[in-house]
């Protein structure tokens, strides 16, 4: 009898524990849907706490704006930076100055509940001023494709759209893999990406840039693979490294960037010039760490192999 009682007791205890666990799991699920506090760690390493899903967002970095749209929250953006030009709906948004010209007053005046800044173009003081005004600040930074996934995931969490962000990331990974399989076995070409033209001192991209990563991905060899980040390069290095393809991303300095490159007096012996393989690349897609990196990779692939 005693034994039976003990057994009953144990069984009932197990039941209550399971029940408790079940109810705990239930409350967690509900917290993901309802407006209770949640927090996200941004690229500064700062944990930002949200009391409710942001409804009035300002994004001051073009790539973040593109991600917010891709996640399906474009309608929640009340203002974007003057450089945000994709997707076309950004035309209808209020434009704010960013970078060194950022006006904290005009940001606060818009009464947003979230401001997304890019780390590279802004300063700590600006983040603090906005935070002091009681507005949540998320700072993003991405210098590689992998960072880009992390930022998409982060913004997904902020907007409570983790499923959508996972979908975007998996889509990008699949597209990149498709390109890799297409490229496999094809011969490799040497490529020079000109970020800024010779007349300003030519700038190109080395290790640790998306451009380099994308070139490697499409099976091309960046002629400045041995350089770190974005740097000024010397004209004579370009001539001596003799690229097979040249991609120009600068669209502002001359009305005809391709013609300008083709006509450079000391470049006539470079393979890309001799074979007419100078292209302009969509600078926005190629430099913004967002979902369109896939488009940039496809563009490079098409121009090199087709």
Partner 1 sequence: MDSLIKANVSRKLIYICSLILFILIFLLSVSIGSVKISFLDTLRIVMNKFFAIGDISELQSNLVIIIEKVRIPRVLLSALVGAALSVAGTAMQGLLRNPLAESSTLGVSTGGALGAVITMAIGFEIPFFPSYSITIMSILFAFLTLVLVLTLSYKISYTLSSSTIILTGVIVSMFAGSLISFIITLSEEKLQSIVYWTMGSFSGRGFEYVWLVLPFFIIGVLGLLRYSRELNAFALGEEKAGYIGVKTKKIKIMIMIFVSILVGVSVSVSGTIAFVGLVIPHITRMLIGPNHKHLMPLSLIIGAIFLMLTDLISRTILSPMELPIGVVTSLIGSIIFINIFYAQRQKQG
Question: What character string, x for contact with partner 1 (CB under 8 A) and - otherwise, covers 267-286?
Answer: -xx-----------------
If the CB atoms of residues 165 and 249 are measured against partner 1, the closer one turns out to be 249
Residues contacting 151, CB < 8 A, separation 6+: 43, 63, 64, 67, 140, 141, 142, 289
**φ/ψ bin of 192: left (φ > 0), alpha (ψ from -120 to 50), beta (otherwise):** beta
Measured CA to CA in angstroms, residue 61 lies from 119, 190, 250, 289 at distances of 9, 31, 19, 10
Q: Which ranges of 184-256 would DSSP assign to H, the alpha helix?
A: 210-217, 235-241
Other Cβ atoms within 10 Å of 96 Cβ, number? 22
232 binds partner 1 (CB under 8 A): yes
Q: Closest distance between partner 1 and the C-beta of residue 285, in Å?
A: 20
305: burial class by Cβ within 10 Å (0-12, 13-18, 19+)?
middle
Q: Fill in the per-residue mask, 106 to 135: x = in contact with partner 1 (CB under 8 A), - = not in contact.
A: ------------------------------
Asked whether position 240 contacts partner 1 by CB under 8 A, the answer is yes
Residue 252 binds to partner 1 (criterion: CB under 8 A): yes
**Residue 168 DSSP label:** H
Residue 110's CB is within 10 A of a number of other CB atoms, namely: 15
Complex with partner 1: residue 72 or 208, whichever CB lies closer = 208
Choose, by CB under 8 A, the member of 242, 258, 260, 280 that binds partner 1: 242
State the CB neighbour count (10 A cutoff) for residue 157.
17
CA-nearest of 106, 14, 8 to 60 is 106
Segment contacting partner 1 by CB under 8 A, of 35-43, 171-179, 208-216, 230-238: 230-238
State how far Cα 268 lies from the chain centre. 36
Does residue number 196 form part of the binding site for partner 1 (CB under 8 A)? Answer: yes
Helices (H), the chain: 2-33, 62-70, 104-109, 124-132, 145-158, 162-183, 210-217, 235-241, 257-262, 271-274, 283-287, 293-305
Selected range binding partner 1 among 143-151, 155-163, 179-187, 236-244, rule: CB under 8 A: 236-244
- Residue with Cβ nearer partner 1 (123 or 253): 253
Nearer to partner 1, 15 or 268 (CB): 268
Instruction: Report, in Å, the least distance between residue 273 CB and partner 1.
Output: 11
263 near partner 1 (CB under 8 A): no
Please report whether residue 100 would count as binding partner 1 according to CB under 8 A.
no
Stretch that binds partner 1, among 26-34, 116-124, 174-182, 192-200 (CB under 8 A): 192-200
Query: Looking at beta carbons only, is 72 or 201 nearer to partner 1?
Result: 201
Q: Does 199 bind partner 1 (CB under 8 A)?
A: yes
The token duo for 236 is: 């004579």
Single residue of 227, 248, 261, 281 touching partner 1 by CB under 8 A: 227
C-alpha atoms less than 13 angstroms from C-alpha of 197 in its C-beta half-sphere: 19
Of 136 and 196, which CB lies nearer to partner 1 in the complex structure? 196
* Residues making contact with partner 1 (CB under 8 A): 196, 198-202, 227, 231-237, 239-240, 242, 252-253, 264-266, 268-269
């Amino acid at each position: 009898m005693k034994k039976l009682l003990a057994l009953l007791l144990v069984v009932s205890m197990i039941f209550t524990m399971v029940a408790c666990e079940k109810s705990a799991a239930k409350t967690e699920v509900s917290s993901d849907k309802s407006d209770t506090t949640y927090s996200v760690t941004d690229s500064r390493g700062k944990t930002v706490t949200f009391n409710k899903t942001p409804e009035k967002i300002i994004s001051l970095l073009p790539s973040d704006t593109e991600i917010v749209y891709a996640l399906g929250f474009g309608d929640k953006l009340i203002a974007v930076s003057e450089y945000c030009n994709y997707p076309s709906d950004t035309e209808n948004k209020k434009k704010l100055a960013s970078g060194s010209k950022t006006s904290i007053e005009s940001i606060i005046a818009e009464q947003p509940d979230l401001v997304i800044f890019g780390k590279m173009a802004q300063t700590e003081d600006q983040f603090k001023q906005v935070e002091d005004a009681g507005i949540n600040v998320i700072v993003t930074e991405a210098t590689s494709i992998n960072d880009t996934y992390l930022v998409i995931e982060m913004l997904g969490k902020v907007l409570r759209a983790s499923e959508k962000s996972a979908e975007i990331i998996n889509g990008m990974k699949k597209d990149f893999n498709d390109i890799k399989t297409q490229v496999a076995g094809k011969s490799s070409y040497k490529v020079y990406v000109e970020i800024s033209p010779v007349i300003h001192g030519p700038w190109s991209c080395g290790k640790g840039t998306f451009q380099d990563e994308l070139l490697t991905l499409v099976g091309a060899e960046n002629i400045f693979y041995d350089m770190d980040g974005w740097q000024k390069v010397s004209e004579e290095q370009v001539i001596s490294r003799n690229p097979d393809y040249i991609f120009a991303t600068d669209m502002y300095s001359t009305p005809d960037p391709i013609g300008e490159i083709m006509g450079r007096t000391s470049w006539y012996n470079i393979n890309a010039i001799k074979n007419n393989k100078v292209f302009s690349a969509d600078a926005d897609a190629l430099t913004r760490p967002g979902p369109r990196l896939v488009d940039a990779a496809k563009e490079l692939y098409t121009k090199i192999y087709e």
